[in-house]
Each structure stands twice: as structure tokens, then as C-alpha cells.
């Protein structure tokens, strides 16, 4: 797909991988709906894009809620008349206290954002793209979905589910001309790492790994580049691409 002239919707676009990808899509010529649960951060991303000459509109939305997903797709329809690219990127870690003391409400939130939000976002994307002849969906999974995470099994399970869901959507290319792929980032320099503990610092169990990776920690732009490649390459469908350190 040629990104220039297309319309993209990016969730979790207020920071990190989402922001970097929204900026990259805009730089490639797409109009971008910047969706985030934090309205202020979404506005910041829009400002960064528009100052660089790109086109973007902000939308505050909770991807784990039906109303939030509906609001995003209604917003992109109002702003740009439809959507061609959806990047289901929003995600969180469980934080502290760690498993098995994680509060039930937090477990529900992790699964709701990381997995249910991706599934609902993909379904909404397919429905929206039918009238435009198809499109591309990319989901953010994680290398954490490929191996056990004893202190955050909810995160690992949620990302493993995204991988299997993505691979199970390959038939959408034949039925709706919608390709669905996923990126599996390694350790990346985003707020999800820095605030994985009590919300102000990295989790005690994760900090040693962060320290070990040091300058090998990936910049968000590296993940954004992989996402754009999956969008552009029409041969990619059901690909779950590891972007490792």
C-alpha cells in the first residue's frame, strides 16, 4: 500500500511507539487520527505532526470499552471520511503489586486494553474498510508474548493472544481485502517500561533487565519503521514480526 494520501488511525498514539508511528505515517503522507486515553498527550502528538507539516486530529478514547472504539471510528469518519490503516497499539503492563497479588481490576484492565481492544479495533477496522475496498491493520504484540513472564503473566498472556489472533485473521485478505499483521517489539524506550512499577518507576523485577540492555534498548522509531514496512508490503499478511534488540 502506498501510504501517501491514505487515512490512518493509531491507538496509544500519545507517546512511545504510537506517537513515533503516527509521526512516521504523517511524514509519509497519511492523515492521522491520533487516539489515546490521555487527551493531553494526544494533543501533543497532533501538535508535533502539524508543526512538521502533517495532517492529524486528536481523539480521546478508551480502547477497552465498546463506546471508546465506536468513538474512534466515528471520529476518523468525521475528520477524513473513512480509514485505510489501523494500528492497534495501545497497551499497558500490570505494575505492582506483582502476580499473584495483582488486583482483579488491574487484571481486567490489562486484558481489556491489550487484547480485547485489539480484537474490537480490528473488527471495527474491517467494517470501516469494506466501503473503501480494503486496508491494513497492524497490531502491537510483544516478544513478551513468546516466553513466560513470571511476574506479569497477564501481560505475557495478553500479547500471546494478540499473536494468535493476528495469525487467525489471515482469511480477511480473501474476504475483505484487509491484511492483518503484528509487530513484536523487544525492549523499547517507552513509558510502558519506565512506569511499569508503581506508575512512577520501572518495576523492581524489570529494572535489572533494562539495565542489562543499556544502549541496546530500541528507540520507538525502530518499531514504527517495521509497522510502515508491514503496511507498504502487500505480500505481508498474518506476519508477526519480531523487532529485537
Segment 60-101, tens digit of pLDDT = 999 999 999 999 999 999 999 999 999 999 999 999 999 999
**Mean pLDDT to the nearest integer, 109-117:** 98
Question: Residue 174: which residues within 8 A CB-CB, separation 6 or more?
Answer: none
Q: Is the pLDDT of residue 109 over 90?
A: yes
Does residue 177 lie in a domain region?
yes
pLDDT of residue 245: 82
* DSSP 8-state assignment for residue 62: -
Number of Cβ within 10 Å of residue 221's Cβ equals 15
Does residue 68 lie in a domain region?
yes
Does residue 61 lie in a domain region?
yes
Does residue 2 lie in a domain region?
no
pLDDT of residue 194: 84
Q: Is 11 helix (H, G, I), strand (E, B) or coil?
A: strand
The tally of CA atoms less than 13 A away on the side-chain side of residue 192 is 26
pLDDT band at 50 (very low <50, low <70, confident <90, very high): very high
DSSP symbols for 73-131: HHHHHHHHSS-SEEEE-------SSPTTS--HHHHHHHHIIIIIHHHHHHHHHHHHHGG
Does residue 1 lie in a domain region?
no
Question: By residue range, what is the domain housing residue 96?
Answer: 7-243
Mean pLDDT, the chain, integer: 97
pTM for the whole thing?
0.97
pLDDT of residue 215: 85
Does residue 226 lie in a domain region?
yes
Q: pLDDT tens across 197-240, in order?
A: 988 999 998 999 899 988 899 999 999 999 999 999 999 999 99
pLDDT of residue 51: 98
Domain count, the chain: 1
Does residue 142 lie in a domain region?
yes
Measured CA to CA, the distance from residue 157 to residue 233 in angstroms comes to 29
Q: Is the pLDDT of residue 193 over 90?
A: no
Catalytic member of 73, 151, 155, 165: 155
Question: Per residue in 94-132, is it b (16+ CB within 10 Å) or e — as a string?
Answer: bbbebeeebeeebbebbbbbbbbbbbbbbebbbebbeee
pLDDT of residue 77: 98
Measured CA to CA, the distance from residue 93 to residue 223 in angstroms comes to 18
Q: Does residue 155 carry a catalytic annotation?
A: yes
pLDDT of residue 47: 98
pLDDT of residue 195: 87
CATH number at residue 220: 3.40.50.720
Amino acid at each position: 500500500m502506498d501510504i501517501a494520501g491514505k487515512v490512518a488511525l493509531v491507538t496509544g498514539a500519545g507517546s512511545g511507539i504510537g506517537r513515533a508511528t503516527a509521526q512516521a505515517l504523517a511524514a509519509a503522507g497519511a492523515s492521522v487520527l491520533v487516539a489515546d486515553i490521555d487527551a493531553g498527550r494526544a494533543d501533543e502528538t497532533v501538535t508535533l505532526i502539524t508543526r512538521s507539516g502533517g495532517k492529524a486530529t486528536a481523539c480521546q478514547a478508551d480502547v477497552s470499552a465498546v463506546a471508546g472504539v465506536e468513538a474512534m471510528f466515528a471520529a476518523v469518519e468525521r475528520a477524513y471520511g473513512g480509514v485505510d490503516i489501523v494500528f492497534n497499539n495501545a497497551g499497558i503492563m500490570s505494575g505492582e503489586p506483582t502476580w499473584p497479588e495483582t488486583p482483579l481490576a488491574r487484571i481486567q484492565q490489562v486484558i481489556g486494553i491489550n487484547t480485547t481492544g485489539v480484537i474490537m479495533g480490528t473488527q471495527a477496522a474491517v467494517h470501516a474498510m469494506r466501503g473503501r475496498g480494503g486496508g491494513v491493520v497492524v497490531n502491537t504484540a510483544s516478544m513478551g508474548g513468546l516466553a513466560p513472564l513470571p511476574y506479569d503473566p497477564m501481560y505475557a498472556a495478553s500479547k500471546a493472544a494478540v499473536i494468535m489472533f493476528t495469525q487467525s485473521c489471515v482469511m480477511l485478505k480473501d474476504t475483505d481485502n484487509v491484511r492483518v499483521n503484528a509487530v513484536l517489539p523487544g525492549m523499547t524506550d517507552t513509558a510502558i517500561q519506565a512506569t511499569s512499577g508503581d506508575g512512577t518507576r520501572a518495576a523492581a523485577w524489570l529494572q535489572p533487565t533494562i539495565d542489562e540492555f543499556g544502549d541496546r534498548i530500541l528507540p520507538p522509531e525502530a518499531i514504527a519503521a517495521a509497522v510502515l514496512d508491514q503496511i507498504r508490503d502487500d505480500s505481508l499478511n498474518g506476519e508477526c514480526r519480531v523487532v529485537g534488540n
